[in-house]
Structure 1
Amino acid sequence: MSGVIRLEDKQRAFAELREVKSGLAAKGWFPATSGNLSIRVGQFEPKDFTFAITSSGKDKSVQTPEDFLLVNEKGIPTEETSLKPSAETLIHCEIYRLTGAGAIFHVHTVFNNLASELFWERGSIPVDGVELIKGFNIWEEDAQIEIPILPNYAEIPRIAELMEKAIVPRIPGIVLRKHGIYAWGANAFEAKRHLEAFEYLFEYVYRWNLLRPSK
């Protein structure tokens, strides 16, 4: 059973989510109410934790009193509410359980969709030597990474079941094919940095594949 969440911790998490939501919405990363954001609140144990998450079906370009709610490690609201958590809350639950992250941000963009389709058969998106890899605290010269891609099943539990084998410890993100990126970090600042690095890399990879000479 999750511990009691202090009001000030809940308010702080909601305020952080509100700020991140506003910034990412300004980038156009939440088209048609898509995407979801969450921040862990209070103490964490792999089998016992609480997080604040965006409500389902809300226009993320505007701010309302009903934008967020608290859920437990099973994705069930911890307070009486008429709000529904994001349909993809179970994916957040699994990422928190497996990584101990402090925040998870999920957006739909054209470039993360295109990159996921371009490399779907490979099963991961390769990035070779691009400076923004350092945004993941990977500092070796000419670093090469592979960003995992998972199928975008209609049944969310089927996707959640794949997370454990798909997560690569040094890569703080997973892409769903033709859907979007889940990026996470120790806190909201780090998760946002990771998300922005991923999106830069997706655009780079896609544009480079258009420009490079045919083999």
Structure 2
Amino acid sequence: MTQWEELADVKATLAKKGWFPATSGNLSIKLEDSPLHALVSVSGKDKTKSSPEDFVVVDRDGKTIESSLKPSAETIIHTRLYEVTDAGCILHVHTVENNLISALYKDEGQATFTDHELLKAFGLWEENAALTMPIVDNLHDLPALAEEMVRVVTPETKAILILNHGITVWGKNAFDAQKNLEAAEFLFAYRLAQFKYNLLKREDV
């Protein structure tokens, strides 16, 4: 399977889950490190549909390589994260759950999850393992937003929440990134259900 096909397969899977509402979201896969080249989703397309123009190759500055197609406006976030992490694939989606979690924990600047089997998806197998996701403000200046996201990255970070602007998740390849995203969304839904059924109080976490 080519990298294009891998990314198209992930896009189709996430689209079926309804995670790209109103053409939102973006995704990419790294083609090479030096110089940095990546396949990035094209701006403004309905991601529930597929075409040969779904993705475009960009360089480290987000400029397209031999194409007139317009890459996602948030391409700079992808290229900067490729520069500072070991990511091979980056996914950004908008769900009700990830927006709610970012709003609930905005004052703490991070959301932490413990005591759940799905933490193992992130390689956290210890009995008292904890997964912490940074939350950054939704800056409309995209280069500034990219730098803010880079600022909060640690070697353990695999996902960043943007306040009321979805989640950006990465992995060493497309399979890994999709796994991390699905696990994160499950943890969000579970946390919200804990609040709904009074299994957990807001002040306890």
What range describes the TM-score normalised by the shorter chain of this pair? over 0.9
Query: In the TM superposition, what are the counterparts of 1:26-175 in structure 2 within 5 Å?
Result: 26-42=16-32, 44-45=33-34, 48-79=35-66, 81-175=67-161
Kept in 1: contact 2:99–2:163 (CA 8 A): yes
Question: Judging changes above 3 Å, is the alpha-carbon distance between structure 1 residues 105 and 131 closer, same or farther for their aligned structure 2 residues?
Answer: same
1:204 and 2:194 are equivalent in the alignment: no
1:188 and 1:133 map into 2 onto residues whose CA distance is 19
What is the CA–CA distance in structure 1 between the aligned matches of 2:169 and 2:72, rounded to whole Å? 16
Task: Assess if the C-alpha contact under 8 Å between 1:136 and 1:171 holds in 2.
Answer: no
The AA in structure 1 aligned to 2:10 is: V
Aligned residue type for 2:145: I
1:213, CA displacement in angstroms?
5.7
Identity level (%): 45
- List per-residue Cα deviations over 1:104-154 (Å, max 9, x = no partner): 011100000000000000000111211111100011113122210011111
Number of the residue aligned with 2:2? 12
> Unaligned regions of 5+ residues in structure 1, if any?
1-10
Q: Which runs of 4+ in 1 moved over 2 A?
A: 209-215
Which moves more between the two structures, 111-120 or 124-133? 124-133
CA distance in 2 between counterparts of 1:64 and 1:154 reads 29
Partner secondary structure for residue 161 of structure 2: strand
Q: Partners of 1:127 and 1:153 in 2: how far apart?
A: 25
SS at match of 1:126: strand
> Helix, strand or coil for the counterpart of 2:36?
strand
AA of the residue aligned to 1:53: V
5 Å-filtered alignment, 1:173-192, equals 173-192=159-178
| Contact 1:136–1:170 (Cα < 8 Å) also in 2 | no
Q: Distance in 2 between matches of 1:36 and 1:152?
A: 16
Partner of 1:6: none
Alignment RMSD (CA, Å): 1.4
**1:39: Cα distance to partner?**
0.3
Structure 2: gaps spanning 5 or more residues: none
Question: Whole-Å Cα distance in 1 between the matches of residues 148 and 113 of structure 2?
Answer: 23
- 1:8 aligns with none
Count of residue pairs brought into register by the alignment: 201
TM-score by length of structure 2 reads 0.93
Q: Contact 2:40 / 2:56 at 8 angstroms: preserved in 1?
A: yes
- Report the TM-score, using the length of structure 1 for normalisation: 0.89
Deviation at 1:18, TM superposition (A): 1.1
Q: Is the 8 A contact 1:112 1:199 kept in 2?
A: yes
